[in-house]
Structure 1
Amino acid sequence: MAITLGGLNTLSFAPSLHGGWLELAIFAGTFWVISHAPTLRAALLAGGIFGFGQFVSGIWWLYVSMHFYGHMPALIAGAAVILFSLYLALYPALSVGLWHVCCAPFGQRTMFPSWHASMAFACAWALGEWLRGTIFTGFPWLVSGYAQVDGPLAGFAPLIGVYGVSWVLALVGALIIQTVMNVSTERGVVAWLMPASVVVGLIVSGILLSRVTWTQPSGPALSVRLLQGNIKQSIKFDQIGIRHALATYQRLITEKPADLVVTPETAIPLPLYETPTEFRTTVQSFVDATHTSVLFGAVGVTITKNGGENFTNALYGITPESSILYRYDKHHLVPFGEFIPWGFQWFVDIMRMPLGNFARGRAIQPPFIVRGQSIAPSICYEDTFGEEIAYMLRSQLYPATMLINSTNLGWFGNTIALDHYLQIARMRSLETGRPMLHATNTGVTAIIDSDGLVKAQLHRFTVGALDVNIQGRSGMTPYILTGNITVLIISIVGLAIGRGIERHTCPSRYIRIGTNIYLSVSNF
């Protein structure tokens, strides 16, 4: 059953049509399953099986990247997805194991859900997801809170971020089972009414909080054009692809003026000094003549102390009548795609990735200023790390009023990865109370408003430009100010309290209420 629940949980994420409600039922079912794990080993296995079911069904698109575009043999690519899913499954197994240790340290039994068991489950689950998004540079894909972007718990995002939403979600699921079990054992109205009331209260609070405005309009609205060149990944780094990209983006950039024009990540897959003179002069002349600012993706080059070159994944900004180029270098790099973890050079050689070893940009970099609006860029994978964006905003003297994510998802074809990535970008808008300009090579290119709603988007795998007026916003959400520290403190303290409560429970006092089901007297 655990693997089925894990697989079904993938359906909670985009492009789902049920607004996050399915996920509430799945987490209730998951808590039911682990509550019937009589030993720590059984609990670990249940958590791991759930995780494997979710990840193997939710990150299969990596096979497309490795096999169709990385030219890895199909068998090896498939095995890599399975092995990676097994690794990721360790984290939900860890969460369930932590929960079991805190709530059932006295040997074999099936646990009756209690208040501290429900709270400990929420704490353990959020902590496990945070660890998955942190260890080995992190892989926070399919974090449970993302599925609530259109769900009833979305309103908690500006307060405690995506991991906090996961915490609330897990608590709601556990309390649903606590309510059902209390009803089924006829423990009295109060016993089931209290957890049921908390469930309703959390859901209503999430819905009401989503109507709270945490930021306010700042400065004039900008006319923005997001460009989608639809350069095929199979030719992107070949000479024919480079020539096609230069011609396409030169045409799209100079086609129509706007306050800001944005291209996808590595729209120009060359170091800036290798771009043709015609491209540079044509774009600069257009910028000066129309007072348009342009932010475009290219390969950055930094000269080292010994005269060598370090390549970066960069965004360059051009503003009217200015000889100074703005530059943003990607800080949070993708393992294997942009840097080679120690001992894995053989993997990159199989993948035949060009420019697979970028240098890292600084954690805090200046914003790009356009007509009084301060814009914070990020590139591709960086958008999945909400804490880093929050840290950047609270570290700036004048926090950015807009977010930009420039990315190339052509590596993943027409798969659910594109929907998931747009959902992640929407969560960043919810957390920060700021609009997100989401420029991609093949889709989904979109403008996301400060409330996390998609204002406009382009069709996938088409060439075009998305023209929208967007309003910058100032102000600090609670999440910007505290980042993930709030949910981490709650989770660690909650687990410690759960462990302390259970240590004072007498292990020998159980009442049998059915086949293999025992209740501790402390639950009454």
Structure 2
Amino acid sequence: MSPAFRWFHQDVSSRYTGLLCLFAGLLLPFAFAPVGIGLLAVPLLAWLFFAWSDASPRQAFRYGFLFGLGQFTAGVYWIYHSLYEFGHIPTPVSMLLVVVLAAGLALYPAAAGYLANRISLSAPSMRLLAIYPASWLLMEWLRGFVLTGFPWLNLGASQTDTLLAGWMPVVGEYGVTLLLGVSAGALVSLFRFRSGYRWPVAVTLLSALWISGWVLQQQNWTETSASLSVSLVQGNTPQELKWDPDARTKILNSYLILSEEVWKRDLVIWPETAIPAFAQDIEKFTQGLSGLTKLTGSDLITGIPMVEKGRYYNAIITLGSESGRYYKRHLVPFGEYIPLGSAFGSLLDLLHVPMSDFSTGRLDQPPLKVAGQLAGLSICYEIAFSSVIRAQLPQAGFLVNLSNNAWFGDSIAPHQILQLSRVRAMETGRAVLSSTNDGITAVVDHRGQIQAQAPQFIGTVLNAEVLVQTGATPFVRWGEWPVIIFAILLLVAGFVRSCYQENQPEEKTRG
């Protein structure tokens, strides 16, 4: 044990560990966009692992909870804006709801600490380099689908501008989370152990992970087959006017005016619910749009709500050379539908959220053909779910995400969503066209770099040339399952080893 570790253990850890875990969690969102100091995630997670390393399972639960409480309170505070501005919920109640959500999400890192410290190993380096990273990853993965899932602020997503990003096409966001966890464990080992084999092992492991990330960044995982001229139209419609019938004509005219100069391009894209009326209520307008696209040779992708067989859908339609439709597959709970509606249906009136009774689209929807190419489509929140995006690959040559970020105002949420678009581009080797109502409208290339970006909060058009890709990255072929299974095997091996160690004294006594 190094002198520095001994000092922390004796003089700091026992009194201030919990407070420092909370503080570290509060700092963690700075690793994500818009600040984007991705490297910061390593020492912050290392501090949590450091705190866990000499804690009981119950203490580890508490430290993980405090870390997560800070992480999610600071990282998803923007939900307050939606609750207060559009739900008209009083400030104290809105703030309380944000903290309650953060506390619920904090149970996952808390459970990670408890689970990891239930595995008692005589070799602390094994716990730091394998058990802690695997336990963190497993809980992060569970958070992505339990109770419909909330895969926000996954640690892997913070690494879009570090060398670990090179691993994204190979192991995906969850795999990068695991590698970041191993890096954090190695950092604690460097700090804690100054003699024996553990220090050189930690140095070698850190060097190998990050240098190989740089090597992987040099690889071309997909091939370019074509290019398209695209125009993303940002209407900047105020959210309070969006569903006002008296404002509908003005909103539609604003999109037509903004699009006047771009109809000769291969593809024009309008954002989520750019047409603020159900399709059957506005057939003349959509028929006119269809005629316009055929006349000019452009194809159009636009968001529009639809009704089919008595069910409401948050949808995308394509008009032009071919027509098609896409229904959103992963809805926002309490935003687009109310879970257990019979029990919580009154929340619809309380939150004043329009269009809050949508149905889920089929999971097996194919990519749609636009401008002669297949596009993988998604709407808003779906960009956070790699499994949703991957479902249309490798057939799709590029990805399109339509969103209405006006719900979040001038907060960090649109920046976080754009970073998730970059993650999906890196994982899939496909360009992502992010079309939003008021920003951030952007084009991300197939390597995850921002190719073009429009300013927020103005009506504008973003023009770009987009490359269409073919082929499949390792992540597209295999998904996250190899990483998840590997993490589970690490925990199982640790548990078996722990049981073996606990039985050793008893066996010796019997002999």
Q: TM-score if structure 2 supplies the norm length?
A: 0.91
From 12, 15, 19, the equivalent of 2:31 is 12
Deviation at 1:488, TM superposition (A): 1.0
Deviation at 1:254, TM superposition (A): 3.5
Q: Please tell me whether residue 265 in structure 1 is matched to residue 242 in structure 2.
A: no
From 286, 294, 299, the equivalent of 1:293 is 299
Q: Secondary structure at the match of 1:369?
A: strand
Q: Which amino acid aligns with 2:31?
A: S
Deviation at 1:282, TM superposition (A): 3.9
Aligned residue runs from structure 1 range 18-417, under 5 A: 18=37, 20-37=38-55, 39-103=56-120, 113-183=124-194, 187-188=195-196, 190-218=197-225, 220-257=226-263, 258-275=265-282, 277=284, 279-303=285-309, 309-320=310-321, 325-342=323-340, 343-393=343-393, 399-417=395-413
Q: Secondary structure at the match of 1:254?
A: helix
Deviation at 1:372, TM superposition (A): 2.9
Q: Which amino acid aligns with 2:50?
A: W
Structure-1 separation of matches of 2:77 and 2:123: 36
Q: Secondary structure at the match of 2:312?
A: strand
Deviation at 1:141, TM superposition (A): 0.6
Deviation at 1:432, TM superposition (A): 0.3
Deviation at 1:507, TM superposition (A): 8.9
Structure-2 separation of matches of 1:86 and 1:357: 27
Structure-2 separation of matches of 1:137 and 1:351: 20
Deviation at 1:116, TM superposition (A): 4.3
Structure-2 separation of matches of 1:51 and 1:57: 10
On the 8 A contact 2:86/2:353 being kept in 1, the answer is no
On the 8 A contact 1:254/1:283 being kept in 2, the answer is no
* Unmatched 5+ stretches in structure 2: 1-19, 506-511
Structure-2 separation of matches of 1:281 and 1:382: 28
Deviation at 1:43, TM superposition (A): 0.6
Deviation at 1:203, TM superposition (A): 1.0
Q: Which amino acid aligns with 2:160?
A: V
Q: Secondary structure at the match of 2:262?
A: coil
Q: Which amino acid aligns with 1:333?
A: L
Q: Secondary structure at the match of 1:227?
A: strand
Structure-2 separation of matches of 1:359 and 1:426: 28
Structure-1 separation of matches of 2:120 and 2:390: 34
The aligned counterpart of 1:440 is 436
Deviation at 1:78, TM superposition (A): 1.3
Matched residue pairs, number? 483
Q: Secondary structure at the match of 1:406?
A: strand
Decide whether aligned partners of structure 1 residues 248 and 206 sit closer, same or farther in structure 2, where only a CA change above 3 A counts: same
**Aligned-residue CA RMSD (Å):** 1.7
Q: Secondary structure at the match of 1:505?
A: helix
On the 8 A contact 2:318/2:370 being kept in 1, the answer is no
Q: Secondary structure at the match of 1:255?
A: helix
The one of the two structures with greater contact order (alpha-carbon pairs below 8 A, sep at least 6) is 1
State, as a whole percentage, how many aligned pairs show the same letter. Answer: 35
On the 8 A contact 1:221/1:469 being kept in 2, the answer is yes
Name the structure with the higher helix share.
Answer: 2
From 462, 483, 486, the equivalent of 1:487 is 483
On the 8 A contact 1:103/1:117 being kept in 2, the answer is no
On the 8 A contact 2:36/2:158 being kept in 1, the answer is no
* Unmatched 5+ stretches in structure 1: 105-110, 304-308, 510-524
Structure-2 separation of matches of 1:250 and 1:502: 66
On the 8 A contact 1:117/1:498 being kept in 2, the answer is no
Q: Secondary structure at the match of 2:391?
A: helix
Structure-2 separation of matches of 1:112 and 1:462: 57
Aligned residue runs from structure 1 range 499-510, under 5 A: 499-505=495-501
Cα offsets for 1:311-345 (capped at 9, x unmatched): 1000110014x5xx311111111101111111222
Deviation at 1:487, TM superposition (A): 1.2
Structure-2 separation of matches of 1:34 and 1:326: 52
Deviation at 1:79, TM superposition (A): 1.3
Q: TM-score if structure 1 supplies the norm length?
A: 0.89
Q: Secondary structure at the match of 1:226?
A: strand
The aligned counterpart of 1:451 is 447
Deviation at 1:4, TM superposition (A): 0.6
